[in-house]
Amino acid sequence: MASKSCQILRQYGYDLLLGFIAAFYVFAVPYTKVEESFNIQAMHDILYHQFHLENYDHLEFPGVVPRTFIGSFLVSILASPVVLAIKLLHLPKIYGLIAVRLALGGIILSSLRFFRIQIRDKFGHQVEAFFVILTAVQFHLLFYCSRALPNVLALGLVNLAYGYWFRRSFYAALNCLIFATLVFRCDMLLLLCPIALELLLTKSISLWEAIKYCTGIVLLSIGLTILVDSIMWKRLMWPEFEVLWFNSVLNRSSEWGIHSFHWYFTSALPRSLLAAYPLLMLGVLLDRRVLFFVLPVFSFILLYSKLPHKELRFIISAVPMFNLSAAVAANRIYNNRKKALWKLLNLFMLGLILISLGCTIIMFLASYENYPSGHALKGLHQMGHLASTDNWWVHIDSFSAMNGISRFCENDYPWRYSKEEGITLDEFHHRNFTYLISEHLSVDGFKCLFFVYGFSRARLQFGFPPIILDKESKVYVHGNTRIKDIMQLDWPGCS
Sign of CA dihedral 455, 469, 94, 493: negative
- Whether residue 436 lies inside any domain: the answer is yes
- Whether residue 322 lies inside any domain: the answer is yes
Is the domain of 351 the same as that of 410? no
**Residue 156's pLDDT band (cuts 50, 70, 90):** very high
pLDDT digits (tens, 9 = 90+) for 463-478: 777 787 888 899 999 9
In this structure, which long-range contacts are made by residues 343-349, counting pairs with CB atoms below 8 Å and at least 24 apart in sequence?
Answer: 349/275, 349/279
- Amino acid in the structure at residue 251: N
pLDDT for res 1: 60
**Residue 432's pLDDT band (cuts 50, 70, 90):** confident
Mark which of 367, 401, 423 sits at the end of a domain: 367
Is the domain of 265 the same as that of 406? no
**β-bridge mates for residue 437, sequence order:** 396, 477
Q: Give the count of alpha carbons within 13 A of 206, CB side only.
A: 3
Count of domains forming the chain? 2
Is the domain of 396 the same as that of 287? no
Domain of 468 in residue numbering reads as: 372-488
Is the domain of 51 the same as that of 71? yes
Is the domain of 326 the same as that of 393? no
Is the domain of 159 the same as that of 288? yes
Average pLDDT, the chain: 90
Q: Which of 216-230, 254-268, 335-349 has the highest mean pLDDT?
A: 216-230
Q: In what order do the strands lie in the sheet with 392-396?
A: 415-418, 392-396, 435-438, 467-480, 446-460
pLDDT for res 422: 83
Is the domain of 318 the same as that of 416? no
Is the domain of 360 the same as that of 385? no
Is the domain of 361 the same as that of 378? no
Is the domain of 271 the same as that of 141? yes
pLDDT digits (tens, 9 = 90+) for 353-368: 999 999 999 999 999 9
**Residue 48's pLDDT band (cuts 50, 70, 90):** very high
* 447 close to 479: Cβ distance less than 8 angstroms: yes
- Amino acid in the structure at residue 103: A
pLDDT digits (tens, 9 = 90+) for 305-347: 988 888 899 999 999 999 999 999 999 999 998 888 889 999 9
Q: How far apart are CA 62 and CA 331, in angstroms?
A: 48
Residue 5 scores a pLDDT above 80: no
- Whether residue 495 lies inside any domain: the answer is no
